[in-house]
């Protein structure tokens, strides 16, 4: 018996990193369209379950986003040599 980590129709969360017009991170939510033992389909694309920016709860995604922002020098007022 295979236990899937998420069900079709549920929500997954992905941390997105953008660099234009400025470097920032945010959380985007998606509805699961299909799921297999190794991947989940959302937004029309398959994503491996081991993808480091994929979360199955909003709380986990928010916690990871907070850590990422704290570890990013651009969020700490240090924008380096531009």
Residue 47 inside a domain? The answer is: yes
State how many domains the chain has: 1
The pLDDT of residue 80 is: 44
Q: Does 45 reside within a domain?
A: yes
C-alpha torsion sign, points 51, 43, 14, 75: positive
- pLDDT in the model for residue 35: 96
Q: How confident is the model at residue 77 (pLDDT cuts 50, 70, 90)?
A: very low
Q: Which domain holds residue 23?
A: 11-74
Query: How many CA atoms within 13 Å lie on the side-chain side of 77?
Result: 0
Say if 4 falls within a structural domain: no
Minimum mean pLDDT range among 6-20, 43-57, 67-81 = 67-81
CA gyration radius, the chain:
15
pTM of the full structure? 0.81
Between residues 77 and 8, which one has the greater pLDDT?
Answer: 8
In a domain, 29, yes or no: yes
Residue 15 falls within a domain, yes or no? yes
d(CA 19, CA 43): 21
């Amino acid at each position: 018996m295979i236990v899937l980590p998420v069900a079709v129709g549920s929500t997954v969360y992905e941390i997105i990193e953008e660099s234009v017009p400025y470097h920032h991170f945010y959380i985007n939510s998606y509805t699961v369209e299909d799921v297999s033992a190794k991947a989940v389909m959302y937004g029309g694309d398959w994503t491996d379950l081991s993808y480091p920016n994929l979360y199955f709860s909003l709380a986990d995604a928010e916690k990871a986003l907070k850590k990422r922002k704290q570890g990013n020098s651009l969020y700490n007022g240090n924008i380096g040599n531009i």
